Structure formats: C-alpha cells, structure tokens
Structure 1
C-alpha cells in the first residue's frame, strides 16, 4: 500500500497532463495528427465503386486485403495467414490470421471475405473475370475462405493482391451485400484507421482515428504488404484545391503532406529545408483520352481512329509532368516498362493532316458539338482536356468543354448520355495487364466501364489470358488483345509521367509504392 506522503508526492505528477496549458494541449494534439492534402478529396467512400485513386488511397487506411504485393509484385499474405490450392489449381483455401476485428467490434469471418469478393468482382475488371471463372466463393468456417473454380484461372493470387483500384478490400458481410449499383456509405473495415463519421465534412475534410483493435503483421512493410502501423492518433484528409494554398500551408506547417504537385511549384519547395520533395511512385501515371462509344461521333471507329492519329503526346506531357525527366512518350495501353508493354495496333507518329483526311472519308457531321467533361479542380487531369479541346478544334469539331468538380465528373461519366470525351490519369500498375486495365474491358453496356466499348474478340482473348498456364502464352495474348483494342479505338494513351509529393522534413519513414500509403510515418 502506498503511504499518504507518497500519494501526496505523486499527485502533481498524476495531474500533470490535465494541467497542460491550452497551447500545449493543442501542440500535443497537432503532433499526434497527420494532416494530408490529397490531389482531390473523394466523396465516394466505397472501395468497390470507383477506379478513383483518391478513393483507393482513403480505402487503404480504412480497409485491409487478404493478400498484398511487395515491390517485386509478389503476392504475400496480409489478412490471410496462409493459403492452400488443390493439385489441379481449381480450388483455393485462404486461412485468416487471428485477431482480425472490424471497426464496429465484430470479428472478421470467412463469410465477410466471400461477400466482399463477390461484390468487388461485380465491379472490377480483373475481379469480374475471376468471378465468372468461379463455381463458388464461400466460407467453410469462420476462419476460412474458399474459391472453387469452374474453369481455369491462373491469376487468383494476383487478383486478390492487386494494389490498384478497384482494390479487393474486405468489409462486413452486411455492407458487402449492398447492391453493386449502389455505393456503400458506411465505411467500416478492419484497417489501421477508422472513419470518424461525426467529423466528416463532405468536400472539405475526412477524419480518421487509430483503430485500437488493429494488429499489424510482423513483417516489414513493403508497399501494401507487411506491418501497417497506425503511428498517428488521427489522419485528416483535407480539401485544398488551390495549389498556392497547398504550398503555403506546407511551408508554414499547417499541413504535413501534399500528395501530388505540379512541377512549376517544386523549385520553391526544394529550396525550403523544412520540406522534402520526392517522387513516391516510380511507375507513375498514364494519361487517358476516353471516347463515349455509344454516342455520335465516336460510335464510329473511323472517327475514334482519326483522333488517335492526330494525338501528339508531346503536346500533353508538359502540362501534367512539367519536367522533361518526369515524362516519357508511351503508346502502350499496358504501360511502358511493364512485362506486357506493346504498341501493337496503335497509330505511329502523330499526323494531323492524315487525321483530317480520315474524318473527311468518314463523312461525319462536324457541326455537332463534342462535349468534353472537364474536372477543373484536378490539375493533373484538367491539363489534358485543354489540349484535346485545341486538337479537336483543329480537326474541325465544335467543342463544348464543360467544367465541373471531380466528384461531379465521376457521376457524369458513369451515365452514357451527355458527353463524348473524358480524360483521366491512372497509375501504371493498374494498367499493366489486359485484365487489370479497366479501359481494355470490352463487354459494352450496361456492365462495361465508362465509355462502353464492345468487342467479342477482346473479351474472348481476355478470358484466354486469364486461363493461360504459362507466361509466354499470356504475353502473346496480351499483344493480340492490345492490337484489337487499339484498332477498335478503345482509348488513346496520352503518355506516361511521374509526379512529386512533398512533406514536412520532420516526417520520416514515408512509404514508397504505387499508391499514397500513410502508415508507419513518424514525426521527428
């Protein structure tokens, strides 16, 4: 028992935290909070509903995955402790590790995983191929997920470990049973941070708090794999569309991390010792010009190919890369520097006069306005639309550039009416196979991806790619698929580029990888 004198002596020490001054408490709270400005702030909180990488980055904090890839693209266990497969590769069993708990306090079960994968497969290009190849995705018991195939699918591990949107994140079964056509609005996962609904301000701020029930893996963190430690009590994702405001806020320490910056502001930050500027993802992004295949004039393949022939990537890259060393011309839908890189079927060097000839031969009505939907608050995308506006005008089109915010843009492009062209950027790792690349999906409406190209040959060869047993077979099929998709004008790549992030130099252990990972970061 502690004596009265000891209790009296200890009392001031025990009371010390409560006696902190207001400014001291505020400083302590600030140190425990990581304030991040993403390129744009998503209002879609469902990881299975959009290919937006701002949704993906948010989701990586809230949700977790069964498997994850390291920097050698090897699938590794994450929520799963291990897996087994039958000798013929037609049945897979994944065994959950102990201690997995959702943010609502319920344990993660095999049924949650099965329901989540079925929902993801209804939305994702690669997931859809796996779903169609499956006889059953179910849970023999609370700690086991079973995938039984009805036809060969050689990419089960790669599908479950894919790092790009849409990521096969796991959510409670009750939420995963939300119809795939409707977004989940209650973001509950089992990841290192939980969504704080009471502090959510759509379009302004997303607040996340440490998930005390999360148990990180013991391995070192590499990309999305390994131990994800919630090193801050809170993470705040803050909307700040104006780049000069971002730079000022980072310089003064009002925010800690800027996801993506235009190159013209980098010299200011590089001269500031309190700031570190670095390219986090060496693979970078692919610029995309996507046609609406359902409406004139781009329901005509001859018109799509004419525009593709006119595209000069050198006109697009300066606006998104800013520095020559950040950009490379790349006409491969599968990305450059990837295992399946090819330019089969793509037009060669840009030729504006030949493109005009192709349009004359197509005999289309150029007086009809071409609507470009244009997310003006996303600089990395908006710059592309301005170049296409000029290009289409040179080709003789009347152009209606309709500006909007990014979240409105996502809603507009999901509807087949009211637009002809949109632009976006996608991380190259998301594009590197014909199954992962949503823009190479050819099922058409209503289930295909926005733009809705329809091509039975592409779909058949994608299925063959999924079933292929050797890498040589997959490589040959990837080239054939690319050629068909390019010749049918699925979309036009606008080059490949990287972008720099910036953060306060007091932050250390900032993760690298193909997404914005915010775990394991330490201050000081």
Structure 2
C-alpha cells in the first residue's frame, strides 16, 4: 500500500478505512469551501460498481462500506470482537440466548433513528449471502426485536462464534442498513447507500466506475475508545473522500508523485524503486499477512467436474511462478498451501498435493481421459493487474499440460458478473486478504453455492461441527480434517501468500 506523505500524515493499517479516517484533522466547512487539504483522494486497485456490502466479496466494496456503514461488533488487532454499534449484551449460561442493546444516538444518514428492527433485517439479509452469517442463522431458532434498541438471538443449537460472526471483518461484512433497504431481495444489489457510518455517500457526484465521493457525516458519534484495526472510535478527519479510477499504473504513480492523489492501494513491485526514492512518498506494507492468490475451478463444467483433473492441475502448480508474477520481491512472498492462510491460528496444509510435478500431472490427466481438443476458458479481468498476473501464469501452465487455453478478457465489474454464472468458463483467479480466509466459516471458497460450486455434504457437516465446537482446540481439530477433505476434493488451489 502506498500513499503520498503530508506534514500531518499518519501511517496506514490493514484496512483502507484507517488511512481514510485517521490521516488529517477536519475543519467545519461546506462542500463548496472544502479545500484540497481537507480532501483525501484514493486510488483503489479497481473501483467497484457494486456498492452493496452484502452482495459481493470484493474487498474494495468492503473498504467503501466501512466508511458509509457501521457494524454491531468489530475486530481489534488481537482478533477479539469489540462492541461497535452495540452498547451492552448478555449471554445465557447455556449460550443459547443472546440479547443486544444498541448505543444511544445512532442515526441513519437520512436522519431517522437506527432501530433493533433495522438490525434484525440487516442480519437476515447478510446471513442469506454470507457463509459465516448463514451458519449463524442456521443455528438460530428466532431473531427478533424486543424494543426499539434491543434484539435477541435464540439459538436452537450451540454456536461458539456468535460475536466473531457479528464482528466478521472480511467480505461480506455484516453491515447494518435501514430495514427498508435490507428488505431488498438478497439476489438484488441495494443501490441506495444509506448507512450510519462516519461518511455519507454523495449520490449527486457518483460516476459508476469512475468516481465515488464521500462527505463527512456531522451526526456520527464515534465510540470513545481509540481506533484499533476495525474497532474503536472512527473519527472522520477529512471533510471529503474521493475514490478515483485510474486504470493505468504509470498514470497512478505520476498522480501520486505530483500530489494529484494521496493514496494508492496496490502498486506493482517494479514501480517501487522509483517511489522509494521520492521523499514525498511513503511505501509501507499495511498488512503483514497480505493476500492469498487463488485458482478456482468451475466444478460444474468438464473437465473440472472431475476431481482427478482438479487434483492433477493442483499438482502441477509451482507457487513460486505465481508469487514472482504478483510480488517480484522475495520479502513480499511466502509459499503457503493453507486455505486458511499462513500465520493464522488454523494454518495447515493437510491434503494438499506435494508438487510441482508436471510429469505426474500429465500422466494423471491422461488417465482421467481428458479431451485436450476442447478449450479451457479462463475469466481474465484485464483492469485488475494483481489478478490478471495470476491468469497469465495459469495460461502458460495449462498449455504446458496440453490444454488449449482461451483468456476471456473483460473489466473487473463484468468479471464479477460472469463468474456467478456457471456456463462459459472453467477457471478464474482472484486474491483475497488472508484474514478473510482464516477459518472454515470465513473462507467463502469453502461454502456450498459460492462461484465454482463445489458440493460436498461432508464439508457442510464439518463446517457445522466447527461452529458448534466448544473451544479453540476442538475447532482446530475439526478445521484440520475439513481442510484435508477440501484439498483432496480440489475445492481450489492456493497460489501463495504475498503483499502488494
């Protein structure tokens, strides 16, 4: 992560949110009076067109949502859930009844009060889209508002991750929205951005795919605690935040150097030496765990509907090739076969093939009866350099294995739509932040129904057992076996861990 230094700049943390909110003191001004000094201009890797935080796993959507919306709980840097919109809560001795009371003075951006009914509706909508949220709701007998500020979960079975679910930091985050918006069918993205967070979405200035403008919410009441990762007081120190699309990396770097923009989310490693020599620019790794590279198979389309083919391709993967394409510097790379990420409490490589072995992979593909005359289509978002680099490596690998390969190049927003349709593709690549992948219930690529559509009843049972496990040791034991099963079934191939 890169940003241009200013005299009163603060270092960024994992979430773009922290850099946006905690960098410069705000002044009370109208929008027309807002000076360049009070405006933060940010260039994400890609500028999402999907703003609904319950609708996509895009972490650019997640970062946007942390500014506009708020959550009931949030994680600190020790992975401990902390109250955010919640003032107090109780848990019954058997762990089945949870009652939550909201803070005083919470307001939506349209001026109406945040109510428990809003939160119940938001949780139901989130749970219909998110793997961890779905597991929580599956264990829930009833979820109801008791009064304007209080709501209750009554579980039908043990679920050991209630607060962890409500504090989930990765997409899809359980963001709260008014009940009228949460009533939108989960299959339809919400288009009206009304939250209760520190910044308000400027509808009039929104240019889809080009610019998102946010203005400080004067009615927002930060929590009194210091900001700590996603938790604590979110103090809006800018009057205005602009998220800008600049597809060309060279143009991004030039804009940062001249001060036209203040912050670049990701920059290819070959650009780092130039930036590091510039005293006006700070280059900083914002997340020590970084990203996981992902090769996802379409389990519903031949030849990858055959586990033998999936496992053969996994056996051929040389993670170093993908790491070199994603993060050229060795200090930014880490070989890692864990679907839960390395450096996380549940790190394991159980079930993963011990490659790379191209010869053995070719033999396995022939034994599986692969028809090499049929083309393999890779969904390829050309305007997302970090993801596109992975696809180019796989194109070469699959060609070496004997496949005919077609790169279906498109922009990232089109890519998000295409990958959700089972026809017309065989592979896609993506990256996700390691904290989003670190458990069986947080990792979306282990869930039934997510793009790629692996379907394994044993995995579904193991995910439920993980949620019901009474302690950390029991959860780790379940996670180990679940990982082994998912790896042996070829759910997806981790391509290494890197920062960029």
Q: Which residue of 2 aligns with 1:451?
A: 452
Q: Classify the secondary structure of the residue corresponding to 1:46.
A: coil
Which of 316, 322, 326 is residue 320 of structure 1 equivalent to? 326
Give the match for residue 397 of structure 2: 391
* Pair 1:490 & 2:491 matched: yes
Match of 1:90 in 2: 96
Report deviation, 1:173.
0.3
CA distance in 1, matches of 2:132, 2:33: 46
The structure 2 residue matched to 1:330, chosen from 331, 336, 342, is: 336
Separation in 2 of the partners of 1:26 and 1:317?
46
Tell me how far apart the structure 1 counterparts of residues 169 and 59 of structure 2 sit (CA, whole Å).
10
1:378 aligns to what? 384
Stretches of structure 2 lacking an aligned partner (at least 5 in a row): 1-30
Task: Give distance in 2, aligned partners of 1:104 and 1:27.
Answer: 23
C-alpha separation in 1, matches of 2:156 and 2:327: 45
Aligned mates of 1:95, 1:87 — CA distance in 2? 18
Cα distance in 2, alignment partners of residues 148 and 183 from structure 1: 29
> How far apart are the structure 1 equivalents of 2:207 and 2:151?
36
Aligned residues: 470
Residue equivalent to 1:256: 262
Deviation at 1:262, TM superposition (A): 1.0
Cα separation, 2, equivalents of 1:247 and 1:337:
31
- Separation (CA, whole Å) in 2 of partners of 1:226 and 1:373: 39
Question: Out of 191, 196, 213, which is 1:185 matched to?
Answer: 191
The one of 118, 122, 139 aligned to 2:145: 139
CA displacement at 1:30 relative to structure 2 = 1.0
Report the counterpart of residue 9 of structure 1 in structure 2.
Answer: none
Aligned to 2:24: none
Q: Secondary structure at the match of 2:435?
A: helix
Q: Kindly state the Cα deviation for residue 281 of structure 1 after the two structures are TM-superposed.
A: 1.1
CA distance in 1, matches of 2:224, 2:160: 29
Question: How is 1:81-480 mapped onto 2 (pairs within 5 angstroms)?
Answer: 81-441=87-447, 443=448, 448-480=449-481
**2:34 touches 2:240 (CA, 8 Å); kept in 1?**
no
CA contact (8 A) 2:382 2:410 kept: yes
Cα separation, 2, equivalents of 1:201 and 1:454: 39
C-alpha distance after superposition, 1:336-372 (max 9, x if no partner) = 0111111111001210000000001001211111100
Q: Alpha-carbon deviations, 1:72-124, whole Å to 9, x = none?
A: 00000100012111110001111111111011111110010010010000000
Deviation at residue 237 of structure 1 after TM alignment:
0.2
Aligned alpha-carbon RMSD (Å): 1.0
Residue in 1 that maps onto 2:80: 74
Offset at residue 326 of structure 1 (A)? 0.3
Whichever of the two has the greater Rg, that structure is 1
TM-score (norm 1): 0.89
Note the C-alpha offset of 1:27: 9.2
Q: Distance in 2 between matches of 1:379 and 1:347?
A: 28
- Structure 1: distance between partners of 2:443 and 2:412: 21
Question: 1: distance between equivalents of 2:296 and 2:188?
Answer: 24
1:510 corresponding residue in structure 2:
none
Task: Report the Cα distance in structure 2 between the residues aligned to 1:42 and 1:289, rounded to whole angstroms.
Answer: 21
Q: Distance in 2 between matches of 1:259 and 1:487?
A: 35
- State how far apart, in whole Å, the 1-side matches of 2:355 and 2:453 are: 27
- Structure 1, unmatched stretches of 5+, are 1-24, 500-524
Match of 1:32 in 2: 38
Cα distance in 1, alignment partners of residues 402 and 437 from structure 2: 32
Deviating 4+ runs (over 3 angstroms): 25-28
1:54 alignment partner in structure 2: 60
Query: Aligned-pair distance for 1:322?
Result: 1.6
In the alignment, the residues of structure 2 paired with residue 70 and residue 414 of structure 1 have an alpha-carbon distance, to the nearest angstrom, of 32
> Cα offset for 1:319?
1.2
Instruction: Give the whole-Å Cα distance in 2 for the aligned partners of 1:372 and 1:54.
Output: 22
Residue-by-residue CA offset, 1:204-241 (whole Å, 9 max, x unaligned): 10001111110001110011100101111110000011
- Verify the 8 A CA contact 2:34 2:239 in the aligned structure 1: no
Cα deviation 1:292-316 (Å, max 9, x = unaligned): 0001110010100000000000110
Q: How far apart, CA to CA, are the structure 2 residues paired with 1:342 and 1:274?
A: 41
SS of corresponding position for 2:284 = strand
Q: Deviations over 1:169-206 (max 9, x none)?
A: 00000000100000001111000001000000011100
* Cα gap change, 1:140 to 1:27, in 2 (>3 Å): closer
Displacement of 1:254: 0.4
**Secondary structure class of the residue paired with 1:372:** strand
